[in-house]
Chain A
Amino acid sequence: MKMQHNKAWFMVLPMLLVVAVSAIIPLMTVVNYSVQDSFGNNEFFWVGTEWFQEILASERFHNALQRTLLFSGLILVIEIPLGISIALAMPRRGIAVSFCLVLMALPLLIPWNVVGTIWQVFGRVDIGLLGRGLSSLGIDYNYTQDVFDAWVTLIVMDVWHWTSLVVLLCYSGLVSIPEVYYQAARIDGASRWSVFRFIQLPKIKRVLLIAVLLRFMDSFMIYTEPFVVTGGGPGNATTFLSIDLVQMAVGQFDLGPAAAMSLIYFLVILLLSWVFYTVMTSLDNDSNSAGRGR
């Protein structure tokens, strides 16, 4: 049992100060902007919830939100199963493990705009391997012109960039399963599927939850990579919420609406993450009671 000890607050204090500087104060500024209007000269006046109403009713916001949701959905549907399958196929011991881990972690450590640059170059019809290869196969591919191609490029790029995170998380869950479990399953003549369903999946559930949450949040907040590759185009086809937001805040300097949009954006992420968390933890409890069967 943990000790009740309110002096522990002193240990948390330095962290709280740092996070306060980098989170609470800026967030308060955003809240402040979101309820005020300005005609320049640093004169602000109260407009209440006007900006929120405007944003919530605007077509532009709805479209960007739908595009972002679609993107995140596709990313989760592709990356999570793919990540699990690759983690299952990974070697468990020997030199091959380090080799695979180092190579797989590589895309994770590339600055995001360089990721964008890599794919921008890779997909170009004139100088890129992918673009050149596809067009020599007779496929009409051009991510700067065609909406579908732009989407495919962005999704393949994100799969390239982030699937390894899912792989690493799942792999770490898998290697922590004691060998005894597999032996027991073998004695029972369990099929490959039931080993996965009743031993491996419950054991990696916790890390999988983290993977889903991280992938959801990060794909929902994606900015740099699509900005570099497509710049939100063609047209507005890949203008996700974050791109739209930065355009509004820095490009047009519409502080009020941008701040209101920021807060709505943040709340959407919080809400959806909470839903994911609740659903997955309740699934966890269900399968524990069902799968135990001892």
Chain B
Amino acid sequence: MNASSSARSHTHKERQSLAWRLHIDVPLLVSLLVVMGFGLIVLYSAGGQSESLMMRQVARLAVGCTAMFIMAQLPPRFYANWAPAIYSFGIILLLAVLIIGDKGKGAQRWLEFAGFRFQPSEIMKLAVPMMVAWFFSERVLPARKRELLVAFLIVMFPTLLILKQPDLGTSLLIASSGMFVIFLSGVSWRLLISFGVVAVIYAPIHWFFVMREYQRERVLVYLDPERDPLGSGYHIIQSKIAIGSGGLDGKGWLKGTQSQYEFLPERSTDFIFAVLGEEFGLVGVILLLALYLIVIARGMYIGSQAQETFSRLLAGAIVLTFFIYLFVNIGMVTGLLPVVGLPLPLVSYGGTSMVTLLAGFGMLMSIYTHRKLVSK
């Protein structure tokens, strides 16, 4: 009771509005739509002004928004109750992928299911934070060390399975989504720091015994793109040229020579940020980041207004993972981070990841609009 009253109450008017009854958070929806709209403008240029490509992207966004709408209808309690089942189902699918999955581009990621091809790792993007949040929801926080260890294992098991596919980008996202839950649950700073120290010690071991040759090569090329200017370094060199040559205000929409003359590879998918950088310059880059920041800020606000441990932790993890998503993509396209193969959220063309992402935002809306309200 006190917890609910500590949250800011909502006016009668807001409660009665159509959006509220449809479980839609208008500020989040609007800011997401603005990012998508800006993304479509960039994609129109990056996709070589192909109308069919635009139609397909709009359709995909529509599917994603539908998923978001459906997810918003289900109460947080539902997600909490189903978390262990979804998580277990996801783990089974991941194991299935490793055993019988399709190989695409040298990695085993796909599962063929009744004529549908999909990546079970997508489920885990939501199932892992749900599972960890569920695990903590019944417990006194900050959790004890043994509980933290269990939570850690919940995160690491699917992460390693996905890493083994191998899919570095997705495993990174899943690990961070779970880790954010642990972080937000109030694990002590001392523990976090000692964990960091262990990681630093472990890194070289990982380098030599766990990483694949192509992953190591990616890291080496990231450190020095000139190592392989025509092969793996080519993407990042062309991408940096595109961004750098954009200057302050860019070359203008549809006028980026790197993008339009196809010097930039994967320009409509993973490297679409370079198109933005080239055609809209630093101004465009800051604009996109500002739009993203609005989405993140709204997500954080929703988290801080959540009334239950489960919703709170889940909301925070979803929004922070969203940030990691865009940070890793922009970092890799600009040469700040290694190339790990993640799309720019809400902007890059294609990918089932778009649907998962919007489904996550649907959960945020659900968390916000299913609160118990205290009348004054």
- Our verdict on whether A and B bind, yes or no, reads no
Seen from chain A, the residues whose Cβ lies within 8 Å of a Cβ on chain B are none
Seen from chain B, the residues whose Cβ lies within 8 Å of a Cβ on chain A are none
